Structure 1
Amino acid sequence: MRKNEKTYRLYKAVFIPAIIILTVEILFGMFFTEEFGTILNHTTYWVGDNFGWWINILSVLSIIFAICFVIFKYGDVRIGGEDAKPEYTNWQWISITICGGIGVGLLFWAMGEPIYHFMTPPAAAGVEAGSREAAIFAVSQAMFNWSFVQYAMYSLCGLAFALLTYNSKKSLSFGSLVEHSFNRKIFWLTTVVQVFAVYALASAVSNSMGAGLLQIGAGIESVFHITQGNMVWLFIAIFVGAFFIISCITGISKGLTKISSITMMLLFFLLGYVLTFGDAQFIGKISTEAFGNIMDNFWSKITYNNTMVPEDQWSNEWTITYWNAFIIFAPVIGMFLARLGKGRTVRQFLLFNILVPSIFCIIWIGVFAGMIMKVQSSGGVDVWAAVQEFGMQTTIYQVLGNMPGGTFIQIVFLVTVIFSFVTLADPMSSVLATLCVRDQQIDDEPPTKIKILMGMIVTTVSYLLVTSGGSDSVKGLLNLGGLLMTIPMLWLFLENFRIGGNLLKKKNHLLDSDKGNNAALKKEA
């Protein structure tokens, strides 16, 4: 055990209730598997129908608040103080930011998602299924779902924790948020918030890993012809779980930075491969039109709902589910991103953490979604029929398998999925461990034993999600967890203005003092 771990005290009031809730969920999933899946499936529509408007409003606010911090004087504040220096290179920051926020989500949903939008667009889009307009809408909506809103949520939460820890010299915890907001410690409120955070994050990482299990299983079936099933998913869960737990206990500066760099190289290789051997001309055309569609419909793409068409559940199944998924992750990914912000200004922190991964996701989806639109519309592969028969996780393997060197590129994609999940599960397990101990400083690594336990819990829940209902269960748990986390996320958003305002006043006071001192010296001279 590392020396600094000896000083930690387990936050039993958070750890025990969260573990009990997760254990009950695990047992329910084991012994009432079908009922577990059915409940989660219905949860998606209940949350969307009753609270979709609230989720959409918060998503709009995330963009507006981010713009405010970039264009106004708040952006001049330096995280860690005026003399603070960055601890990570730009490349490390890029790779960790992109990979840490994406996980397998981009490789799973963003590959299969566009074909759904193409063949079953929402009433609000006003396009005909399978048409040219539907293809452009499908690519643009997938681009949008995985870009600006997501990273604005993460970055604003990360900014609040960075300012609290580096500038206000508080511990990396929700307790610091409570103490700063009310100017005193409120133990019961801190405990409640952190219990919700641990539960929601464990559920969210389990969802991401569940999606990963489905896609890895599909890859193994496509490449090695081993049929997907509970036993295959179990072996995959054990292997991937062990992989990310080992990476997690080595620490951010060793395991995660290296794995993120490898993952980025694999992602760039896949992009180059598809552009070289696919129809680059078609991809370029539909990608630019899709981006133009985003610019024309930016705000409406955030606020899609099923007003006056209650039978149309597209918004509940897609955009609202996405926003909920990002809301779950936002406060805790924010705790992780805060560790990368030292030495950067608020403006740099937000622009970098929002624009860099957003641009990457837009390019990635433009290439792969464009390829899928081409294959489907030209009749090369009936991707939609494959999705209906084998599931969405098979989409990308169906397409890659029909390209030159199909088996090789399927294997590369399979390895990339594994590494991508590790880059998400690693920091999130670390944050889970952080939430379960008291008074951890931002530069410290949480206890190894807690990291391992959280990794095992995440692995178990993800396996139960897949066996109980696949992607439908995944969506249900995302919506429920997202609804629970809306208040902590909004709280962090608003606290940014208070912390930033106080730091600006302090900075201006020091500048005025310096000016006064200089004027006095000149007068004496």
Structure 2
Amino acid sequence: MKSLKHWVFWPPFLFVLAASVLSFTNKEAFIKITTGANDWVIANVGWVFSLAGLFMVVVCVGVYFSKLGKVRIGGENAKPLLSFRNWFAITLTTTIAAGITFWGIAEPIYHLVEPPKSMNLEPNSAGAAIFSMSTMYLHWTITPYAIYCIPALMFAFAYYNMKQPFSIGSTLAPLLGNKIHGKWGKALDAVCLYTLALGMAAAMGTSILNLAGGVNYLSGLKSASLLWAVIAAVVMTTFIISASTGLMKGIRILSDINFKLFLFIIVFIFLVGPTSYILNLGTESFGYYLTYFFEKSLFTGAAANDQWPQWWTTFYWANWFSWAALTALFLGRIAYGHTVRAFIIVNFALPAAFGGIWMTIFGGTSIYLQMNDGKFGDILTSSGPEALVYAALEAMPLSEIIIPLYLFIVFIAFVTSADSTLAAMGGISSKGITPESPEPGIFIKVVWGITISAVAWVMISFAKIDGIKMLSNLGGVPAVLLVIGIVFALIKVAKDPGKYDRTREELGGEQKRDRAG
């Protein structure tokens, strides 16, 4: 408790706790408040998410080719904290990897059986199939990773090269100077804790439903509140134990296991699934995605009063923004010793390519099964999205082996993601975090782990998949405003990196001392 930043920790913690208490004591009031706030968000702020996401893709590419691209994070003499392989594995598995294991099979069926009304596509038609697959590319490739990459890169440069404190406010130092580390900085960190708590609860809700679907398939236990509570408790205990071991043990080991399992399951489904159909549909849909990239990125549905973009694209962008601001502290911290261009490759280009491959294989398989069988839409309606994943895997050879393995992949994926998130939340809640002493205490990780698990269980118990979307949307509003500021801070740095890079001054001082000696 002595190391706790009270003005950063208590406001978001008490706010999230109050919401949980209200949900237990007055369910109707809780649902009315969250639904009303969510409806306002998706009706009024969706355009901000769309424009911001597209802008960040452009900035990512621009920074890669700028003078900043050649700068080494931590200075010219900085030695990498992680090997390139470990760095990529951790980055991939601690960002949206938990999401792709659930939505990769479930989401395409939603778009196939119920495409946007304003597009006049016939459900289960060829046009709906192409729309569905191309939408997976929109939601799971370059745009989400650009949203993650920009804040993480700005924090890495601010923390290691500008010698700023371990605070999300440091990302705005190029715009506001050291003024950001006063009361406004504490308020900013508190808001980011709130957004990440809701974003992580949304992701955990998705993983709980995914795991419950697997347990239901294997044991016959009903996917309901009691099972969700047990799964939440097991997952929470595991990621708290992992988080307590620190970066070089828990996260590194789990991410390496996770990455290898990802590669295995991708190759397996590609070889035993409808390979030709996957490749042909993926090629055609990718062409559609490129042709209509700007139109799909900026589709709000306002002209036709179509709610589809609000409940899908806005949901995803809000989710990414909820995570991005504070996850930047973790992703930036592990980038020490690598160049900015390498950072963009590992945090933007390679994960986006991986997401595209995953969605081509799993989304293509899902669409094929629905187009040739037709029962997956019925499964979605009768049993929920968590049942779709395992129904699709059941159609594969060796399903009795693959389904338990996939269940393990889902479990490890979320534990790895939660591990890194708790490290970031614990770090921003604590005093004395420096490059030399980067780990927060276990107590603060336990507190946040229990709180988030409780919120996730409450929302899926009362609102299921809609509850997950509400959490993401509510957490994304303040986050997107912050991230827009971070984008302009990074642009300012990219124009003249030497003006902000204090490691050059230190290197120059060392060289002078060496010559004098």
TM-score > 0.5 by shorter chain = yes
Q: Which amino acid aligns with 2:409?
A: T
Q: Which amino acid aligns with 1:218?
A: G
Structure 1 pair 507/436, CA: closer, same or farther in 2 (3 Å)?
Answer: closer
1:347 to 338, 341, 350: 341
In structure 1, the partner of 2:59 is: 65
Distance in 2 of aligned mates of 1:228 and 1:508: 54
| Ranges in structure 1 where 5+ consecutive residues have no aligned partner | 1-5, 518-525
The answer (yes or no) to whether the contact 1:36–1:468 under 8 Å persists in 2 is no
Spell out, residue by residue over 1:484-513, the C-alpha distance to the aligned partner (whole angstroms, 9 max, x if none).
Answer: 1112111211111233444334789989x9
The yes-or-no answer on 1:263 pairing with 2:249 is no
Give the percent of matched residue pairs that are identical in Structure 1 and Structure 2: 28
In structure 2, the partner of 1:235 is: 230
1:40 to 17, 27, 34: 34
1:294 to 289, 292, 296: 289
In structure 2, the partner of 1:141 is: 135
* SS of residue paired to 2:302: coil
The answer (yes or no) to whether the contact 1:136–1:290 under 8 Å persists in 2 is yes
Structure 1 pair 413/40, CA: closer, same or farther in 2 (3 Å)?
Answer: farther
* SS of residue paired to 1:169: coil
Q: CA deviation at 1:42?
A: 4.5
Structure 1 pair 478/506, CA: closer, same or farther in 2 (3 Å)?
Answer: closer
The answer (yes or no) to whether the contact 1:37–1:472 under 8 Å persists in 2 is no
2:453 to 445, 454, 459: 459
| Ranges in structure 2 where 5+ consecutive residues have no aligned partner | 512-517
2:163 to 165, 169, 175: 169
The yes-or-no answer on 1:490 pairing with 2:484 is yes
Once the two structures are overlaid, the 10-residue window that deviates more, 297-306 or 155-164, is: 297-306
The yes-or-no answer on 1:325 pairing with 2:322 is no
The answer (yes or no) to whether the contact 1:79–1:343 under 8 Å persists in 2 is yes
In structure 1, the partner of 2:187 is: 192
Q: CA deviation at 1:104?
A: 2.1
TM-score (structure 2 length as normaliser): 0.93
Q: CA deviation at 1:203?
A: 1.0
The answer (yes or no) to whether the contact 2:161–2:503 under 8 Å persists in 1 is no
* SS of residue paired to 2:362: helix
In structure 2, the partner of 1:3 is: none
Structure 1 pair 510/335, CA: closer, same or farther in 2 (3 Å)?
Answer: closer
The answer (yes or no) to whether the contact 2:427–2:433 under 8 Å persists in 1 is yes
Spell out, residue by residue over 1:144-203, the C-alpha distance to the aligned partner (whole angstroms, 9 max, x if none).
Answer: 201111111111101111011110112221343455533333522112211111111111
Spell out, residue by residue over 1:397-419, the C-alpha distance to the aligned partner (whole angstroms, 9 max, x if none).
Answer: 11111222222211111111110
Structure 1 pair 305/274, CA: closer, same or farther in 2 (3 Å)?
Answer: same
* SS of residue paired to 1:101: coil
* SS of residue paired to 1:290: helix
The yes-or-no answer on 1:213 pairing with 2:233 is no
Q: CA deviation at 1:376?
A: 0.9
* SS of residue paired to 2:124: coil
* SS of residue paired to 1:368: helix
Q: Which amino acid aligns with 2:156?
A: A
Spell out, residue by residue over 1:211-256, the C-alpha distance to the aligned partner (whole angstroms, 9 max, x if none).
Answer: 1111111110111111122111111111010000000010111000
* SS of residue paired to 1:470: helix
1:479 to 457, 473, 477: 473
The answer (yes or no) to whether the contact 1:124–1:304 under 8 Å persists in 2 is no
1:275 to 235, 249, 270: 270
* SS of residue paired to 2:493: helix
The answer (yes or no) to whether the contact 1:11–1:437 under 8 Å persists in 2 is yes
Structure 1 pair 192/506, CA: closer, same or farther in 2 (3 Å)?
Answer: closer
* SS of residue paired to 2:412: helix
The yes-or-no answer on 1:384 pairing with 2:377 is yes
Q: Which amino acid aligns with 1:51?
A: V
In structure 2, the partner of 1:55 is: 49
Q: Which amino acid aligns with 1:400?
A: L
Structure 1 pair 506/200, CA: closer, same or farther in 2 (3 Å)?
Answer: closer
* SS of residue paired to 2:82: coil
1:31 to 25, 30, 42: 25
Q: CA deviation at 1:477?
A: 1.5
User: How large is the Cα RMSD of the aligned pairs?
Assistant: 2.2
TM-score (structure 1 length as normaliser): 0.92
Q: CA deviation at 1:38?
A: 4.8
Structure 1 pair 506/278, CA: closer, same or farther in 2 (3 Å)?
Answer: closer
The answer (yes or no) to whether the contact 1:111–1:396 under 8 Å persists in 2 is yes
* SS of residue paired to 2:434: coil
Distance in 2 of aligned mates of 1:367 and 1:39: 40
Q: CA deviation at 1:123?
A: 4.2
Distance in 1 of aligned mates of 2:328 and 2:98: 18
Spell out, residue by residue over 1:3-41, the C-alpha distance to the aligned partner (whole angstroms, 9 max, x if none).
Answer: xxx9x7311111111221011011012222354345434
Number of residues of Structure 1 aligned to a counterpart in Structure 2: 506
* SS of residue paired to 1:438: coil
* SS of residue paired to 2:94: helix
Q: Which amino acid aligns with 1:265?
A: K
The answer (yes or no) to whether the contact 1:45–1:316 under 8 Å persists in 2 is no
Structure 1 pair 328/346, CA: closer, same or farther in 2 (3 Å)?
Answer: same
Q: CA deviation at 1:364?
A: 0.6
The yes-or-no answer on 1:446 pairing with 2:427 is no
